[in-house]
Structure 1
Amino acid sequence: MMVVQMGLDSSSYLSLWGLWVVFLFQPASAIMIPCPRGGMVYKNGCFGFFSVRLNWERAEVACQTFGLNGHLASVHDPREQKAIAKYIKQVNVAGLPVWLGLHDAKRGSSKLSRQFKWTDGSRVPYMPWNIGEPDGGTYELCVELGSSAFDVLNDQSCERQQPYLCRFEI
């Protein structure tokens, strides 16, 4: 098992793991899982930044492993985008691009044939692309939060190893 730091320290992960052990032995109505230390609560979700560099697919699997209905994060409106950008700037010390859950599920080769979807199945009404994006055709099928402000999307090769942002239900 790989231990991944979320936010500031490994005790957050251990706390989350302990909650999952409790969760396995409690009725669903009795459990309320808090956002671990180092995470950010927004609406009914907890966002967790993971500094370990993984490719997009492994990052999605990791998010599914770490929390209730966990997936790479989805962004639904400008307010949520602003909150996420502020959070990432605080915890992403290296300033590297961060994987999100948006990907081209149909592997379109042109801008018109691309069909981006969120891994959590949510609607895709809001996509703040960087100027000229998406531009990668069949080679850049996954999406990262790029730029130093973490406020625009960029399509990227799914094999690139980089930090990622998960969203869990709370």
Structure 2
Amino acid sequence: MMGKVSTQWIFFTLFCITLGISCPQGWELRDSRCYYFSTEEMTWENAQESCQNLNANLVTIDNAAEQNYLWANRRREDSIIIGFNDRHEEGTFVWIDGSPVEYKNWGSGQPDNYENEDCVELYDEIHGDWNDISCDKTLLYICEKGKPLA
């Protein structure tokens, strides 16, 4: 299995180099997407604004492999804001960029909307499972750009 993944990764890397696909300095390339892992804590809204200033959005997570990559590459052992939220309609969680919701990784008993929680974090205390939080909580965040259109 590892050999297959390594071969695929090498092929992808060479493909990207050939096509000139790259990320801005300080960003990381994975599966034709660029990720920016913040080192500064912000509220959900300020984090999204920061991402937009970088021509990106808060990260969307499509599958367990992407989730594991993001969790493994965070800048410190702490929770992280992602672009999932129910700010417009309680209980209806959506991605900030309008991507279809195809993957969820809620922690046990989540979301619980404790004290009106409308934003979502990868929660450090439950190994990256998702937890709804107050949008005013300040945390690290991840920006994403280059996501193929659905």
Q: TM-score range by the shorter chain?
A: 0.7 to 0.9
Q: Which amino acid aligns with 2:143?
A: C
Query: Which residue of 1 is the match for residue 144 of structure 2?
Result: 167
Q: Note the residue ranges of structure 1 that are not aligned, 5 or more in a row.
A: 1-31, 109-113
Counterparts in 2 of 1:138 and 1:125: CA distance versus 1, 3 Å: farther
Deviation sequence 1:65-93 (CA, Å, 0-9, x none): 113xx0000000111111111111xx22x
Q: Which amino acid aligns with 2:84?
A: L
Deviation sequence 1:124-161 (CA, Å, 0-9, x none): 11110011100115610000111257531110000011
How many aligned positions are there?
Answer: 128
Query: Which residue of 2 is the match for residue 73 of structure 1?
Result: 59
**What value does the CA root-mean-square deviation take over the aligned residues?**
2.0
Q: Distance in 2 between matches of 1:135 and 1:64?
A: 29
Deviation sequence 1:1-22 (CA, Å, 0-9, x none): xxxxxxxxxxxxxxxxxxxxxx
TM-score by length of 1: 0.68
Q: Distance in 2 between matches of 1:104 and 1:118?
A: 9
Structure 1 runs (4+) greater than 6 angstroms displaced: none
Kept after mapping to 2: 8 A contact 1:97/1:150? no
Superposition deviation, residue 100 in structure 1: 0.3
Query: Does 1:62 pair with 2:50?
Result: yes
TM-score by length of 2: 0.77
Identity of aligned residues (%): 30
Q: Distance in 2 between matches of 1:78 and 1:98?
A: 16
